[in-house]
Chains A and B, each alone.
Chain A
Amino acid sequence: MNENPPLKVTDLRKDFPGRKGIGTVHAVSQISFEVRPGEIVGFIGHNGAGKTTTIKCALGLLKPSGGRVSLWGLPPASAAARKRIGYVPENPDYERTFTPMEYMTMFASMRGLDGDEKDWTALLERVGLKGWERTAIRQFSKGMQQRMSLALALQSKPELLVMDEPTGGLDPVARKEFRDIILEENRRGAGIFLSSHILSEVETVCHRAVMLSRGMLIAQGSMDELLGSERTFRLTAENDSGDSVELEVPESALQAKIDKAREKGLKITRVEQKMKTLEEVYIAVSGGGKA
């Protein structure tokens, strides 16, 4: 394990006061994982699983009740760490009287970045906001605000991109554009920490995934580890009276099952590979995944 990975979470715990101040809500309990340089890690869980809470602890917006979070070995609120990350919040909101170009210019100044309006125009065009640079944000849709937050996150060419449900509410075309940008940034060398409950997206883009349910870590690993490296097949067999039976069989047992079916006088009508999805894995591991 890398000693100072871009993001390291160790035994993180976050509690909140219960309703009307009675009791305690354990939003996140004893979770540990890390994001290594240059990898894309998916952070998945049902609504209320603790994803946003974990991300906010990682960015210093929430103070952990226990455990530790570090960015390159530094505390989350440290200036040195914050300079190296880009953040795309869930449901972003911005001052409505401002324009994207004003935000880009001010953020660049606050971050001490070189660059001029031409650079920011190109970046806004890259995220799909060409022609909207000087339009007040009050006229933007939710999707357009999300594009703007992506542009602000990418402005400093961050080493780690933290994205909290960046494509929630976007149309399929916009989601693909976001995915393409994520992959481009990863090719540039950035690590990506992507929280989402669109599991098909995580499956397509991520190298590894961390699964949360009810504030607890239930599984983590590479896509191969989570989906299983051994393939599964669906075997359909028919008897003489036309009744059919379907079986799911791992690859290692496939031939033995076919032989046994034939011994019993069954006719093999179909053998097809069954693709296991991350969604199936999550539901199986989380036991339904209810908050």
Chain B
Amino acid sequence: MRTVFTFSLMTLRMLFRRRTLWGILLVILLGLGGIASVPTFDVSNQGRFILDFGLFGIEVGALLLALGLAASLYPRDRETKTIMPLLAVPLSRGQYLMGRFFGAALVQAAALLVSCLGLMLILLFNGLPIPGNLLPATLLILVEGWFLLSTVFFFSFFASPPLNWPLTTMLFIVSQMSVAEFIGLMPSSPGLMRTLRLLLPHADVFHIKDPIAHGFEIEPLYFVVAVFYGLCYSAFMLSLALAVFRGRDLK
């Protein structure tokens, strides 16, 4: 565990020193600022609008962070051969993957927390109340972000970064669809599409921006179940990623 922890800190330090993270964070904060500046017709609508689109913006930010932080981590390590001294001696492949994942996950968590704080500031600035469930909603988006991060790692072991981006984005979009919508993409094969959709994650589990925007209370048990589901699916994606990585030769 200490090995993984140390390598996670090494990854965290490395990502903070790169410009990618700061660029994405700037985009998220600018987006939130943009949402707040959109004029609305009614004060009571503005809060709902800011929350709804603000949380959506944070969710898209989670996708951008997952891709920006992780899509090129392994490909770059392999191309520059910085991975050789690591894997030859101190790290196993599993430790390398987990260290990289936890480092990137911590950076993603910090960035999403900053985004959430940004949203809170925007609400306060506009004289609007901060819903009690805003932080838990951000936590669910973070779990979705970790799932996306694990998916990016999975693709990165056999796809280049330019291919990883559309693959992960497609998965993100498809996971938002209902079964009926997904079948509608290829109505000629409903059985196959239904099976495929059942295998893909249900990202709507992580979406509670609608009840938050409309002031609905959500049971704490739901958060527990949703986080558990998200973490288990992420573990599954990481195990797939490790299976692919273990089969790769490092020429």
Contact = CB atoms under 8 A, between A and B. Distances in A.
Interface of A: 16, 56, 59-63, 77, 79, 82, 85-87, 89, 91-95, 97-98, 102, 106-107, 109-112, 149, 152-153, 156, 162
A87 B3 contact: no
Nearest to A79: B92
Contacts, number: 77
Interface string B1-26: 01100110110011001100000000
A79 B90 CA distance: 8
Interface core residue of B3, B18, B84 (most chain A CB under 10 Å) = B84
5 contacts: A16-B251, A60-B87, A77-B93, A87-B89, A95-B14
Interface of B: 2-3, 6-7, 9-10, 13-14, 17-18, 80-82, 84-85, 87-93, 247, 249-251
A61 B250 contact: yes
Nearest to A61: B250
B113 to A, nearest CB: 24
B88 A149 contact: no
B11 to A, nearest CB: 10
A109 B6 contact: yes
A85 B80 CA distance: 22
Given A92-B81, A109-B6, A110-B7, A77 B92 contact: yes
Contacts of A110: 2-3, 6-7, 90-91
A111 B85 contact: no
A77 B250 CA distance: 13
A152 B85 contact: yes
A77 B89 CA distance: 9
Contacts of B3: 109-112
Given A93-B80, A106-B6, A110-B7, A87 B14 contact: no
A111 B88 contact: no
Instruction: Pick the most buried of A59, A109, A149, A156: most chain B CB atoms within 10 A of its CB.
Output: A109
A61 B88 contact: yes
Given A110-B6, A110-B90, A111-B90, A97 B17 contact: yes
B81 A62 contact: no
The 5 closest A-B pairs by CB, nearest first: A110-B90, A87-B88, A109-B6, A97-B17, A61-B250
Contact of A63 (B6, B81, B249): B249
Contacts of B80: 93
Contacts of A62: 249-251
A89 B6 contact: no
B88 A112 contact: no
Tell me which of B7, B18, B88 has the highest count of chain A C-beta atoms within 10 A of its own C-beta: B88
A152 B90 CA distance: 10
A89 B90 contact: no
Contacts of A109: 2-3, 6
Nearest to B7: A110
Contact of B87 (A61, A98, A106, A152): A61
A61 B3 CA distance: 19
Contacts of A56: 250-251
Given A94-B82, A97-B17, A61 B249 contact: yes
Contacts of B89: 82, 85-87, 107, 111, 153, 156
Contacts of A111: 3, 89-90
